[in-house]
Amino acid sequence: MKQTRKAKLNRETISSLMISVPKRQVGLLSEWFQTTAGTSLLEKENNLLQQILPELFGYHLVWFGVADYRTGILSSSIRHCTHLQMLGECAACSCDVVGCHTQLPIQRDSIDVVILSHLLEYSPHPHAILREVERVLHPDGHIIILGFNPISFYGLYRILPGFRGNMPWQGRFYHPLRIRDWLQLLGFSLKSVSYTAFLPPIQHYGMVKRIKFLERVGQGFLAPMNSVYMIVAHNLAVPPSIVMPARKKKKTVLDGVIEPTTRIGYRNINIRKNE
């Protein structure tokens, strides 16, 4: 492990953990979040987190991904927050712990809230990530998953020839119902599913400002067609309890006399009948 100085963000202690994921892919996703479409999407995702995090309590919060969620995490009452960056080499960033996303260097049942930010889309082993999160999550903890919705403008752009090879369309977009099935197999209970960002990924700021009114359309019955979903699930796993075997009660002896019993002496009865 490589220890460095932890940065403080107001009332939270935020440390950086690094996860072994292809560096090139992570770098492109980080650069895309700095574009006009990426910045707008990041702002909407922070708004979603601000709505749900005040309702979750605990001692430790961990979030995965390259997205900057400091604005949303400030609304949480959890004071110790840890950021796990998806970088491929230790020299690429100043990190506290180097690990793998399928083998987290975190103690079992020690985290209260885990946030997965667009991690399942770009991982070759999404099931292993969820199993590992279930391992480190407290039995009464929560998991928050943010991902791209395949039934949206972002999903439509993914099948177009000019966008499929670029970020963020290089990953595999999973439907929220599929993520729900995976979570239920691991013992999670679905708490809520929220959607945001109805607009297409337009990089021209002036055009985005003109069609911004379309966001209201996506707040109604077209909400499942928004570009980003946020799944909140509750871990219902109950820790095993040790059941001690019942001790047999010993017969007590009072002044050398055996304790009286209600059992009948059949042997004495048979002897008297024979007489």
Q: What would the pLDDT profile of 69-102 be if each residue is shown by its tens digit?
A: 888 888 898 988 888 765 454 444 444 445 565 6
Query: What pLDDT, on the 0 to 100 scale, is given for residue 209?
Result: 74
Question: Tokens 């990089």 map to which residue?
Answer: 203
Query: Is 199 domain-assigned?
Result: yes
Closest by CA to 201, choosing from 249, 168, 239, 237, is 168
Query: What pLDDT, on the 0 to 100 scale, is given for residue 16?
Result: 47
With a cut of 60, say whether residue 159 has pLDDT above it.
yes
For residue 87, the one-letter residue type is: L
What would the pLDDT profile of 10-33 be if each residue is shown by its tens digit?
A: 434 444 444 445 555 666 787 888
* Percent of the chain's residues with pLDDT above 70: 69
Query: Is 78 domain-assigned?
Result: yes
Query: What pLDDT, on the 0 to 100 scale, is given for residue 234?
Result: 94
CATH number for the domain that contains residue 16: 3.40.50.150
Query: Is 271 domain-assigned?
Result: no
State the average pLDDT for the chain: 77
With a cut of 90, say whether residue 170 has pLDDT above it.
no
Query: What pLDDT, on the 0 to 100 scale, is given for residue 53?
Result: 94
Query: Is 268 domain-assigned?
Result: no
Structural domains counted in the chain? 1
Query: Is 24 domain-assigned?
Result: yes
Query: What pLDDT, on the 0 to 100 scale, is given for residue 241?
Result: 61
* Domain assignment of residue 76, given as a range: 7-241
Model confidence at 66, pLDDT cuts 50, 70, 90, reads confident
Query: Is 269 domain-assigned?
Result: no
What would the pLDDT profile of 180-212 be if each residue is shown by its tens digit?
A: 999 999 999 999 999 998 888 887 777 777 777
What does the alpha-carbon distance between residue 100 and residue 50 come to, in Å, rounded to a whole number? 28
Which tokens hold the place of 130? 């969820």
Query: Is 256 domain-assigned?
Result: no
Is 195 within 8 Å of 228 (Cβ atoms)?
Answer: yes
Closest by CA to 158, choosing from 173, 169, 171, 172, is 169
Strand runs (DSSP E) across the chain, as ranges?
7-9, 12-19, 60-64, 80-86, 97-99, 111-117, 137-148, 188-196, 228-235, 253-254, 257-258
Query: Is 272 domain-assigned?
Result: no
